[in-house]
Amino acid sequence: MKLRKISETVSFVGAVDWDRRLFDALVPLPHGTSYNAYYVEGSEKAALLDTVDPSMADTFFAYLAQRPRVDYIISHHAEQDHSGLIPETLRRFPNARVLTSAPGKNLLEAMLHLSPDSIQIVKDGDSLSLGGRTLRFVQTPWVHWPETFCTWYEEEKILFSCDFFASHLATSGLYASDDNRVLDAAKRYYAEIMMPYASIIRKNVEKVAALQPKLIAPSHGPLHDHPDEIVETWRRWTDPAPGREVIIAYVSMHGSTRSMVDRLCNGLSDRGVTFQRFDLTTADIGQLAMSLLDASTLVLATPLVLNSAHPVVLHAAALINALKPKLQRAVVIGSFGWNAKPLEQAPTWMPDLKLDWLPPLSCRGLPRAADNEAIDRLVGDIASKHTAATA
């Protein structure tokens, strides 16, 4: 397996995982992923930037066997898909030192049982000379864990960005310009993983943008050889201004709730309001997360079952609450048999979001004329708010 060179002093020593379809037992991976690790060599020393998921150890060590030495292991992130092979790498290169942030040291000791003596803390602005080659450390916490940071390769203006600007995408090529799917995969990655930390990340975007990198080398997915595009895209995603779309997420057991959703969608379409619709029993939750980046209104539609909203809707609400999107308002609609009271509890399903909750709308069984008129009024209310926001 031939070593993949990025420049005369930088090699890719990561692994592409074509077959993985789920991350963290939660995040869908429709196009696989990669675990990117890099090897930088100067005239005197060599640094390994991260390792890979332990499931891809054979690939990683086949690459590393082609390099003569490892003096430093830079651990940007303690999660195991980045750090999981550090113990074995230290066994093979016992004189290597692990460089990480202060929170990273605590996490590596706890999660991988690394000896404190093997770890050296690096701070924002610290630099490491490899002999004619300089790596400088840029602290970027909460992208997306407290310990995360980036490494700036001064001579070649490469930003090794960790999970910053990453994407879950398995590709045969190294560079983003080779694959037009990258921005969509990057949007999914940001929405599923980074969205809760948008306000902190926004500051970090400006911090690394000031470096004016020629190449951004993230820990997952292709390398950004036209970095301005992905930086500007992250600026837009982290902008606190809400989107302009309506998200309709629903479950229907016997057609009553679906009938309400159909009328709502038809009405919004007639008013020129852009919406996305998700049947939660079959929807890709990654697509749902992505849609939230462009939304200001959320409609949850659910039948009542077991004296509560449908469990699949409650699961979606819990996920949306955790992601903390830029939504402004929400409403719950649905059908019931004998008790509509549980719909009034909808604000408690997403307690961490500061939302303007519109009054719930319910019908008993299939919607009648009066119910349809209420849906039409809801359409008008949503449409007027969206029209006002775009005026």
Task: Assess contact for 229 and 179: CB atoms under 8 A.
Answer: no
User: Does 193 share its domain with 255?
Assistant: no
Phi/psi region, residue 15 (left: phi>0; alpha: psi -120 to 50; beta: rest), is beta
188-198: burial string, b at 16+ Cβ within 10 Å, e else: bbbbbbbbbbb
Q: Compute the distance between CA of residue 278 and CA of residue 299 in angstroms, rounded to an integer.
A: 10
User: Does 232 share its domain with 250?
Assistant: no
User: Does 252 share its domain with 179?
Assistant: no
Q: How high is the pLDDT of residue 329?
A: 97
Asked whether residue 1 carries a pLDDT value surpassing 90, the answer given is no
Report yes or no on 389 lying in a domain: no
User: Does 195 share its domain with 261?
Assistant: no
Instruction: Compute CA 52 distance to the chain's CA centroid, rounded to the nearest angstrom.
Output: 18
Give residue 29's domain range: 4-238
> Which of 238, 265, 287 is the last residue before a domain boundary?
238
Q: Compute the distance between CA of residue 100 and CA of residue 79 in angstroms, rounded to an integer.
A: 13
- Mean model confidence pLDDT for the chain: 96
Q: Compute the distance between CA of residue 372 and CA of residue 375 in angstroms, rounded to an integer.
A: 5
Report yes or no on 336 lying in a domain: yes
Mean pLDDT value across residues 65-90: 97
User: Does 44 share its domain with 164?
Assistant: yes
Mean pLDDT value across residues 267-271: 97
Sheet with 10-12: strands ordered across: 4-5, 10-12, 38-41, 46-49, 72-74, 97-100, 119-121
Q: Computed from CA positions of residues 230, 173, 181, 249, in that sequence, does the dihedral angle turn out positive or negative?
A: negative
User: Does 210 share its domain with 293?
Assistant: no
Report yes or no on 282 lying in a domain: yes
- 340-363 pLDDT, tens digit per residue, is 999 999 999 999 999 999 999 999
> Which of 238, 256, 278 is the last residue before a domain boundary?
238
User: Does 110 share its domain with 15?
Assistant: yes
Q: Give how far Cα 320 sits from Cα of 98, 236, 361, Å.
A: 37, 20, 21
Asked whether residue 72 carries a pLDDT value surpassing 60, the answer given is yes
Q: Three-state SS for 85? A: coil
Phi, psi values for residue 139, rounded to 5° = -70, 125
Q: How high is the pLDDT of residue 390?
A: 65
Report yes or no on 61 lying in a domain: yes
Report yes or no on 390 lying in a domain: no
Q: How high is the pLDDT of residue 53?
A: 98
Q: How high is the pLDDT of residue 2?
A: 86
Instruction: Compute CA 378 distance to the chain's CA centroid, rounded to the nearest angstrom.
Output: 32
Looking at residue 51, which CATH number applies to its domain? Answer: 3.60.15.10
The residue count of the chain comes to 391
Report yes or no on 391 lying in a domain: no
Token pair 């940007």 is found at: 76
User: Does 233 share its domain with 271?
Assistant: no
User: Does 266 share its domain with 337?
Assistant: yes
Q: Using 50, 70 and 90 to split pLDDT, how confident is the model at 388?
A: confident
- 109-122 pLDDT, tens digit per residue, is 999 999 999 999 99
Burial class of residue 112 in the structure, from the number of CB atoms within 10 Å of its CB (0-12 exposed, 13-18 middle, 19+ buried)? middle
Q: Using 50, 70 and 90 to split pLDDT, how confident is the model at 3?
A: confident
Looking at residue 322, which CATH number applies to its domain? Answer: 3.40.50.360
Residues 185, 319, 293, CA angle at the centre, nearest 5°? 45
Helices (H), 239-273: 256-270
Which structure tokens are listed for 315? 């699961």
Phi, psi values for residue 132, rounded to 5° = 75, 0
Token pair 């409609």 is found at: 299
Number of domains in the chain: 2
Which residues lie across from 98 on neighbouring strands?
Answer: 73, 119
Looking at residue 381, its amino acid is D
Q: Compute the distance between CA of residue 55 and CA of residue 84 in angstroms, rounded to an integer.
A: 9
> Which of 175, 205, 238 is the last residue before a domain boundary?
238
Mean pLDDT value across residues 236-256: 96
User: Does 201 share its domain with 292?
Assistant: no
Taking the CA atoms of residue 366, residue 368, residue 370 and residue 371 in that order, the dihedral angle to the nearest 10 degrees is 20
User: Does 41 share its domain with 161?
Assistant: yes
- 283-340 pLDDT, tens digit per residue, is 999 999 999 999 999 999 999 999 899 999 999 999 999 999 999 999 999 999 999 9
Report yes or no on 90 lying in a domain: yes
Asked whether residue 49 carries a pLDDT value surpassing 60, the answer given is yes
Its pTM surpasses 0.75:
yes
Please report, rounded to a whole number, the percentage of residues in the chain having pLDDT higher than 90: 95
